[in-house]
Amino acid sequence: MRPIHIPAIFAIFAGILVLWTWLEYRSKGEQMKLSIGLVLEIVIQAAIPTAITYFLVNRLGPLEVRSYGVMMLGAFVAALTWMYVDRDRYGFTGGQVLRLGFIGFAGGILGARIGFVLLNWGDYAGKLATALNLWRGGMSWHGGLGGGLLALGIAAPLMGASFARTFDLAAPGIAVGYAVARIGCFLNGCCYGHECTLPWAVTFPQSATDGAPAFPAHPTQLYAVIGTLGFVVPVLLLITPSLRKPFDRFLAFLVLSSVVRYVVEIWRRGATGEVWTSVPIFTVAQAASIGIIIVAGAIVLAREWPFRREEPEEAGES
């Protein structure tokens, strides 16, 4: 994206935010009045997606929109939309959803990229500037999770929102966004699997090396999409009424998504698909998934047993 395009992208996001804010005031029967504080808030909120767009979609002129970056932005929109529609369940306002969504997305992108660079340090040592090329793909799910948790852990209390309930609200949206992002991985040709001869095998040009041509491989990105939309989201929504404690819906999401990740890693190549030297029967990502399943699952069982249908606790509790 050339510098001349940045003001235009900023203006688009600012316009969306003004419309969102106006609708929020209207829904409450109030009239929106511009003030220095409100204008500053809109400017800051518009600056975040503008910066993310720069690093994800780069560049717009000459027209060259990257599929990976576009799908990442689509993932954010999908997650934010879900949070907005479901906001009343945990007592959030539309404004809170918007602000927390932007902050969580920014923290998640930063954490995901840092995690990926660390996992593939050999490719970036001595040329750290290339670590900013987010539009070429390369994100770590666990790094993004940590980055989002850290960002919202700081921001949510400052905004008068429950950190725990923020993630309870976001859990299904994150799952849907994750599925959309994996479609971006498929289009980008990253995160593919081992060689196979199945009818649905896909040959990714990125699998070619100097000494060998590209090979047909498991489309593990699509396996993740199917597992998330066909298992994680439905089961999470099914058990939501039984989860009474703050943060437990998000913990349940971690358990379910880790099950899918463990299974997908059976066929996946790459840094996360490498054998974990401490326990060679698992890959790095499988070991992390097992740890999450055990810890998060134990917490949910300890807090929610015996399961029974109850109304969620007050949104302000954490």
Each residue of 167-192: pLDDT tens digit? 999 999 999 999 998 998 898 888 89
- The predicted model gives 48-59 an average pLDDT of 67
Q: What percent of the chain has pLDDT over 70?
A: 86
pLDDT on residue 55: 65
Whether the per-residue pLDDT at 60 is higher than 50: the answer is no
Q: What percent of the chain has pLDDT over 90?
A: 37
> Which region among 27-31, 199-203, 209-213 has the lowest average model confidence (pLDDT)?
27-31
**Closest to 110 (Cα-Cα) out of 164, 72, 162, 79:** 72
- The predicted model gives 158-167 an average pLDDT of 90
Q: Cα torsion for 226, 228, 232, 234, to the nearest 10°?
A: -60
| CA dist list (Å): 182 to 93, 96, 109, 188, 317 | 29, 27, 14, 10, 33
**Closest to 177 (Cα-Cα) out of 76, 249, 66, 260:** 76
Euclidean distance between CA atoms 275 and 285, whole angstroms: 9
Whether the per-residue pLDDT at 77 is higher than 90: the answer is no
pLDDT on residue 172: 96
- The predicted model gives 77-96 an average pLDDT of 90
Average confidence score pLDDT of the chain: 83
**Closest to 17 (Cα-Cα) out of 44, 53, 57:** 44
**Closest to 116 (Cα-Cα) out of 83, 141, 86:** 141
- Give 293's pLDDT tier (boundaries 50, 70, 90): very high
Euclidean distance between CA atoms 112 and 181, whole angstroms: 12
- What contacts 25, CB < 8 A, 6 or more positions away? 31, 32
Whether the per-residue pLDDT at 20 is higher than 80: the answer is no
pLDDT on residue 176: 96
Contact 168, 97 (CB under 8 A): no
pLDDT on residue 167: 94
Euclidean distance between CA atoms 107 and 155, whole angstroms: 10
Looking at per-residue confidence, does 242 or 34 come out higher? 242
What single string gives the DSSP state of each residue in 25-73? HHHTT------HHHHHHHHHHHHHHHHHHHHHH--TTTT---HHHHHHH
Whether the per-residue pLDDT at 260 is higher than 80: the answer is yes
Contact 214, 208 (CB under 8 A): yes
> Which region among 63-77, 208-222, 237-251 has the lowest average model confidence (pLDDT)?
63-77
Q: What is the largest CA-CA distance in the chain?
A: 67
Euclidean distance between CA atoms 57 and 49, whole angstroms: 11
- Give 15's pLDDT tier (boundaries 50, 70, 90): confident
Contact 107, 76 (CB under 8 A): no
- Give 305's pLDDT tier (boundaries 50, 70, 90): confident
pLDDT on residue 62: 43
Whether the per-residue pLDDT at 133 is higher than 90: the answer is no
